[in-house]
Amino acid sequence: MNDRKVLMRRFIAYLVDWYVGALVVSFPIGLFSQKLFGTANNLNLLKFPESYGVIAGILSMICGLFYFVVVPTWIWKGQTLGKHILHLKIVGNNNDDINLKTMLIREVLVIMLFEERMYNISTILQQLFTLLTHIQVVRAVVTIFWVITIVSALLVVLSKNAQSLHDRIAHTIVVRV
């Protein structure tokens, strides 16, 4: 897996998923923003009245879970749109199909919570956490998450099987199909 062409495919797939995922996740927030402020440009839940921010945040999380978990688990077995377009697939370490548990570990537990700089949904999760608990996520925590994200990206480039941190924890690999 660790040849330059496949790594480039994986990077482009990531960019596609980053962009499409951001659109999908931001859609409910944009709708609420349009209704509340007359513009869809206010995507910061912390600037919403609290109840609207919580509802918009929860709807955004549902949209994100649909795109990053439901689609690759049941619709395009092992593929998000980016991976589908670039002919890549997430499989188990033994090349078996992934399941819901695997995708929840990979996408939610590791990527959304710890490699949180990878996707827009993580920022929304932080804002939702702040709205629900009234506890601000401190810069030190965000910095730690940046470091984890960078280490994960380096693992893809430098390891022989191109497994990121989330792949290693979820026991998955990304293969060309």
Q: Is the dihedral of CA 79, 81, 82, 84 positive or negative?
A: positive
**Number of other residues whose CB lies within 10 A of the CB of residue 15:** 12
Tens of pLDDT, residues 29-54: 999 999 999 998 888 999 999 999 99
**pTM for the full model?**
0.86
Kind and range of the H or E run holding 126:
helix 120-133
The Cα–Cα gap between 55 and 149 comes to 28
* Dist. CA 104–CA 106, nearest whole Å: 6
pLDDT in tens, 129-160: 889 988 887 677 778 888 888 888 899 888 88
Quick check: 96 pLDDT over 60? yes
Closest CA to 173 of 148, 152, 162: 162
Residue with tokens 């939610």: 108
Collect all residues with Cβ–Cβ distance below 8 Å to 96 and sequence separation of at least 6.
none
- pLDDT tens for 111-125 read 877 776 666 778 888
Q: Read off the tokens for 33.
A: 């923003």
CA distance 164 to 10: 11
- Nearest C-alpha neighbor of 82 from the set 131, 41, 128, 22: 22
Is the pLDDT at 1 greater than 60, yes or no? no
What pLDDT is recorded for position 72?
97
